[in-house]
Amino acid sequence: MVTSLTYGQVSPEEHKKHHPGQAGTGNAGPAGKNPGMMGGGKGGGMGGMMGGGKDSGMDVMMERMGAPKPKELYPKLMDLPDLPMEERAVIVQEAHQRMMEGAKLLATGLDELTNTVPTDDFAAMQVATAKMREGLAQFESGLAAHRAIDEGKAPRNVALQWFKREMHLLPPAGAKPTGVRLWGMTPFHTGVMVLLSVFAAAMIAMYFFKMRRASALLDKLITDESANEGASTTKVSPSTSLPSDSLTEPEHPATSKDSNKSATVADCCNDSEETCPSDEELTDRPDISAGLLPIRKKKLCRLRVARINQETPDVKTFRLVACHGSGIPFNYLPGQFLTLTLPVGEKPIRRSYTISSSPTQGYYCEISVKREEYGAGSRYLHDELKVGDTIEVQAPSGKFIFTGKEADSIVLIAGGVGITPMMSVTRALTDMVWNGDIYFIVACHDPEHFIFESELKRLQEQHENLHVFVAMSRIEEERDGYRKGRLSRDLLAEWVPEIASRRIHICGPVAMMDAAKKMLLKLKVPMESIHTENFGGEQKPQVRAKERAKAAGTDIAETGGTVTFSKSAKSTQFQVDETVLEASERVDVDIDYSCRVGSCGVCVVKLLSGKVSMEVEDGLEPEDKETGMILACQAKSSGNVSVEA
């Protein structure tokens, strides 16, 4: 091929110098006899193979070089399966003609080479060998066409094999592949193919992973949107309906206090989706509960610890935010609590902690926790939890709430860390500039253990309707307005005028709450006006079990009723005054729980048969009651019952 192309580029002047007797600028030999090096020869077969038609540049070149047009034999071989029989006969004739011309040209070249060797005419030798190559190429192409037709070989494969040979893509004749080969490939090529296959598989896996994640995110967005639509049918200002199972939606939005009622009505925007209140409905104490964010419930989520504040030597506040950086995935009411799942020991534990932040803050929520020496949950939060950690949280619940709708004034009595729900209520009411009287009464040991001291002082200075009173049991003398001694009936009567007519919330140690209730009853406060929050009883379950057995005079005091746990295939007889949860603990049946006082709803189980009584049902939603769910920590029975646990 290289020799032919090189020879084809010899100038006419140089050709005449060596062959003065020959005409034309093509290959040596009479015009018309020699098909030309670029025609059917070994070097020129490319013209035919590439389908050199009558308009191709290759044909023009061949004509200018004085050679006839190449015979389009190999392109016809490529199209042979699609040609009719008469066309195949033409190809056979052309193949025979090419073989004859090739043999003649080969003989002529051999004669010329034989005659020129003794004369040492190298140029003539080169011309003679070129003729021999051209003749051999013509003969081979004709022979290949004959064999393709006679032997039934695929003509396309014949043409492709010829092309590879002419382009030097085939291995040398007789050469054998060296080394280990897989599917005919060298180890290098095999390795490249393996890497490409692994890369392709990784890309496909990544694609499916991203699609699944995108689908999960889309489902989450749809779920949250549905929850929003279910909680509030209108998306207007933040003053949407009050979201609570125990509260009803206000009929009208909150309005500012104004002595001129007609002016107040005129302030409503013309394009507002809300209906302005009528003159008869206007009061000097509007319902600010409509300003709270609508409730969005979600059973479980993970929150990130954004900040930890040391409030007192034994109390820390943990600020929790959404892991993805937007608003928290739920809202709540002032006074509700969170239930956390804490990785303590072999089995995670659940503990409930009241939210101390205001529900008007949609970006974060806070819990303030006192470290108890024997409290596994509080010790984990204080000693192990760090900023940046995430924690599993169950959406807020609880009915120890005050939104400003329930009464026109509120008395908040807090003992120790029981100040947390009171702080949530106070922050919410002051955020919304509620104009009812707030009496905030704190009982603690000393200023060092006064939680939220500085913030309460600041809020009292800013809001004239907030009245803060503090009784400290371990100070030697009164200072900074703090009264010496324990909380008493006389102090309550002094601090809260007309206390018998007010709504009262109490939260703190059980002994403190019991004492406060007795004081209030003596001050003629109706029992229905007193509301308390209690997480955990005075006695541990094991202590209560021992006391029940001791009271009955036996090791195991039985009532005759039996509780069966269907999933665990276990049953036992109830002891005196024993709950389903306490019975499950005796026979090693796992039922999740947290508060043990019927508020959090963690211990909810399905009652399959029998009847139970429950002293507290706050942790049950209306739909839970409809489906036969009970609170294991409250459920007691003197008969036979079966539960799904």
Are both 127 and 149 inside the same structural domain? yes
Give dist(CA 641, CA 572) in Å, integer. Answer: 10
Query: In this predicted structure, what is the pLDDT of residue 77?
Result: 60
Would you say 127 and 27 are in contact if contact means Cβ atoms under 8 Å apart?
yes
Q: Are residues 519 and 429 in the same domain?
A: yes
Show the low-confidence residues of the chain (pLDDT under 70).
Answer: 1-86, 151-184, 222-299, 535-560
- The per-residue pLDDT for 608 is 93
Residue 524 belongs to a domain with what CATH number? 3.40.50.80
The reply to whether 77 and 155 lie within a common domain is yes
For residue 477, what is the DSSP state?
S
Contacts of 296-299 with C-beta under 8 Å, sequence gap 24+, read: 296/224, 296/227, 296/228, 296/231, 296/329, 296/330, 296/331, 297/227, 297/330, 297/395, 298/224, 298/227, 298/329, 298/330, 298/395, 299/394, 299/395
User: Which of residues 117, 134, 167 is at a domain's end?
Assistant: 167
352, 414: one domain: no
pLDDT of residue 46: 36
Are residues 303 and 364 located together in one domain of the fold? Answer: yes
| Angstrom distance (rounded) from CA 154 to CA 158 | 7
For residue 100, give the amino acid letter: M
Which of 628, 635, 643, 623 has the alpha carbon at shortest distance from 598? Answer: 635
45 in a structural domain: no
**Res 218: pLDDT:** 77
Residues ≥6 apart with Cβ < 8 Å to 489: 519, 522, 523
pLDDT for 417 equals 93
Q: How many helices (H) and strands (E) does the chain have?
A: 18, 17
Domain-terminating residue out of 151, 167, 183: 167
How many CB atoms are closer than 10 A to CB 361?
17
Residues 6+ apart with CB under 8 A from 571: 562, 563, 564, 565, 587
Q: Is 347 a member of any domain?
A: yes
Boundary-marking domain end, from 119, 140, 167: 167
CATH number where 621 lies? 3.10.20.30
Q: CB atoms < 10 A from the CB of 58, how many?
A: 19
- With respect to residue 211, please indicate whether it lies within any of the assigned structural domains: no
And the tokens for 515? 């004492």
In a domain, 138, yes or no: yes
Query: Is the separation of the CB atoms in 368 and 451 below 8 Å?
Result: yes
Structure tokens at 223: 């779920």
Q: Please tell me the distance from the alpha carbon of residue 27 to that of residue 3, in angstroms, as a whole number.
A: 13
Based on the domain organization, do 420 and 516 belong to the same domain? yes
**Nearby residues of 385 by Cβ (< 8 Å), 6 or more positions away:** 305, 308, 318, 391
Domain count along the chain: 4
Whether residues 383 and 433 share a domain: the answer is: no
103 Cβ neighbours under 8 A, 6+ residues apart: 135, 139
Same domain as 487, residue 562: no
CATH code for the domain in which residue 360 is found: 2.40.30.10
Do β-strands 349-354 and 364-370 pair in parallel, antiparallel, or remain unpaired? unpaired
393 lies in the same domain as 428: no
Q: Can you give the residue range of the structural domain that contains 467?
A: 409-533
CA distance 318 to 109: 101
Please tell me whether residues 393 and 421 are part of one structural domain: no
Tell me 568's DSSP state: T
Which pLDDT does position 55 carry in this prediction?
A: 42
Close Cβ partners of 615 (under 8 Å, ≥ 6 residues apart):
598, 634
Whether 417 and 387 map to the same domain: the answer is no
Alpha carbons 378 and 370: distance in angstroms, whole number: 7
Query: Would you state the structure tokens that stand for residue 119, as one six-digit string?
Result: 């004369």
Q: Are residues 526 and 423 in the same domain?
A: yes
Would you say residue 179 lies in a domain? no
